[in-house]
Amino acid sequence: MNTEDFYKLSGIMSAHDWPSFKKELAYRYGIATSQHYRTAHEQYNSNWTQADFDYAFNEYGFRDGPVQHTVDTCYYGCSITMGDGVPQADRWTSCMDQQHTWTSNNFAIAGTGIEECLYMFVQTARLVQMKRAVFFLPDASRYTVAVPQDSDNITYNNIYANNFEQLKHTELRRTAELLYRLPDTYSIDRARTAINLIRCIAELHHIQVILGSWSTTVFDLLQHTPDHRPVQLDRAGRDALHPGTVYHGRVADQFGQLL
């Protein structure tokens, strides 16, 4: 099997070093390439009154500074943890770093599901020495599936199980329709299994793990005390799709209480 065939068959857990990790990121998510998958400069929210900003990505395709091999904290999540819609300095992960004077890596990728967060943690726990891992988990009904675009490439797309009628790609639509017809317990069971695996891996690596979620359903799986509830989502970000800076500050405060 040649190298290209290996990357077509392998998952994010298989990289044995940083160069192979970068190749898998490029293949699996389309990041860590010369042109990043997100170049969001447009401003949709007419109510956005804060300073304008740009998006910058490191060589691995993460919206962060250079990846560090030894850090206090690594962050995992989807677009909110990546900071879509807000300046990098104002996202909740940056707020936590400032409050606690932490060094960190942000390994969030927009659109990923809970299992993808697990895969990223499995991989980076092998490559990075960290004290803690902080997860802001997405909704349980989100999945990342492979969609063949041609004979030589697979593009991974993110779907919610209930949006199959809006999908243009035939295979994506069929997959989403099948997921939609499954009972809700299917998504919950998969989410619970992934969360338990995150905890087990953290214990094996002697890493403190802190889990939160913007989804009420997922938050209920995390065994928090009843007085902890998810921060209410808004669409006050510059793109009018993601939360604004006030929301990010509140999320950082909530994670501070969970430490």
Residue for token pair 């910058």: 56
- Give the CA dihedral 135, 184, 220, 130, nearest 10 degrees: -20
Residue for token pair 């990043």: 36
| Token reading at 163 | 């949006």
Q: What is the pLDDT of residue 76?
A: 98
Q: What is the pLDDT of residue 24?
A: 84
Pairing status of strand 70-77 against strand 104-106: parallel
Q: What is the pLDDT of residue 39?
A: 45
| pTM of the shown model | 0.88
Per-residue pLDDT of the chain (259 residues; tens, 9 = 90+): 455 555 455 556 778 899 989 988 877 777 876 444 444 456 778 889 998 888 889 999 999 999 999 999 999 999 999 999 999 999 999 999 999 999 999 999 988 899 999 999 999 999 999 999 999 999 998 877 655 554 444 444 555 555 555 656 666 667 777 777 778 888 899 999 999 999 999 999 999 999 999 999 999 999 887 778 899 999 999 989 899 999 999 999 999 998 8
Q: What is the pLDDT of residue 29?
A: 78
Q: What is the pLDDT of residue 52?
A: 84
Q: What is the pLDDT of residue 189?
A: 93
Q: What is the pLDDT of residue 37?
A: 43
Kindly report the CATH number that applies to the domain delimited by 68-258: 3.40.50
Beta bridge partners of residue 190, listed in sequence order: none
Of 30, 17, 2, residue with least CA distance to 153: 30
